[in-house]
Every structure is written in structure tokens, then in C-alpha cells.
Amino acid sequence: MLVNPAEKYGNSWLSALQEFEAEDLRGFWSRVEDPADVPALVKRLYEISEGINIPNSWVPATTLWYVEGECYIGHIDIRHRLNLFLEQFGGHIGYAVRPTERRNGYGYRMLEAALPIIKEIGLNEILITCDKGNIASRKIIERNGGRFENELTDDEGTVKLRYWICL
């Protein structure tokens, strides 16, 4: 289930962080000085969701953790609006499943569970993107109603597929 980030999931989060770092993945935790400082991370994610102390190039974003019991499985970021970069490449949604829990359907369930929450935030249509080569993410988006719009290539040469989901 989707929950607000909380210290009670700290040990599981730290374990997942090691998995992500082993893959050299960066995510919402790159927004804090020390992602292993769970209380500071939880506080900072709350501030970002409220638009508190965020750089001008950022937008408010709600981060939710997907958990089973006390186990952190993954997270989803819901960006409340789009800036120019997000309009092209990032979209309203970002998500990640910890490496040891991939291929178990969690990505689909995370996005499915987030759709009503996104509607509550006030969005009626969302843009969601993925790298062209990320077949798993593509399937998650399409199974959740994503309608393909187009593809764009970012400054690093990565082709991004752009989808819209009506809520």
C-alpha cells in the first residue's frame, strides 16, 4: 500500500538504498544531503510536497512509499505541476521499485494506487514518461491507461516515450 514516508520504515528504506546505490541509481533521495538520515529525509520530502524551500527550477512533489508491512518496496513521486523540462521529459510521475522486488507487479500496483491520489491533488490528466528501452515501465504505463503521444530525445541522447493518462 502507498503511505507517507515515515521513520518506522527506516531500516527497510536503508536496505533498499544500498540496493539502489549498487545499481548507481539516483532518485528522490538525491534531494537530501544524507539519504541515510531517515528523519531528515522524511522531513525534506514533506517540505518538497508543500513547496517549502525548493529551488526555482523544482515543482512541489508528493512522494509516497509503497510498503508491505514494515517493508519498503518502492516509491512514487507525484509532481503537482510541470515546468518546461518536465513537460518534455519528466512528466508528472516518477517511480522506482527496489531491485530485489522487481518483476513482482509492484510497479503496476504502485501507479494504479496513485491514480486516485493524483486526482485528489487536482490533476485530471497526467504525463508520464519512460526511456524507450525500459519495456517494463512501458508496460506499467500502458496497463494503467497510458496513451502514447510521442517520443523525444533529451540532451544526453536518451529517447523518452511520452504517455498521457486521463483520470
Report d(CA 83, CA 94) in Å as an integer: 15
Strands (E), the chain: 2-3, 61-68, 71-79, 93-97, 125-131, 147-153, 159-166
Report d(CA 63, CA 76) in Å as an integer: 6
How high is the pLDDT of residue 23? 82
Q: What is the pLDDT of residues 111-160, one digit of tens each?
A: 999 999 999 999 999 999 999 999 999 999 999 999 999 999 999 999 99
Q: What is the pLDDT of residues 21-47, one digit of tens each?
A: 888 766 656 666 777 889 999 999 999
How high is the pLDDT of residue 27? 65
How high is the pLDDT of residue 20? 87
How high is the pLDDT of residue 29? 63
Burial of 44 (0-12, 13-18, 19+ CB in 10 A): buried
Four-way CATH pick for 2-123: 3.40.630.30, 3.20.20.70, 2.30.180.10, 3.30.70.2520: 3.40.630.30
Report d(CA 156, CA 50) in Å as an integer: 31
Which one is predicted more confidently, 34 or 83? Answer: 83
How high is the pLDDT of residue 28? 59
Q: What is the pLDDT of residues 48-76, one digit of tens each?
A: 999 999 999 999 999 999 999 999 999 99
Domain boundaries in the chain? 2-123
Report d(CA 33, CA 100) in Å as an integer: 25
Instruction: Enter the pTM of the model.
Output: 0.91
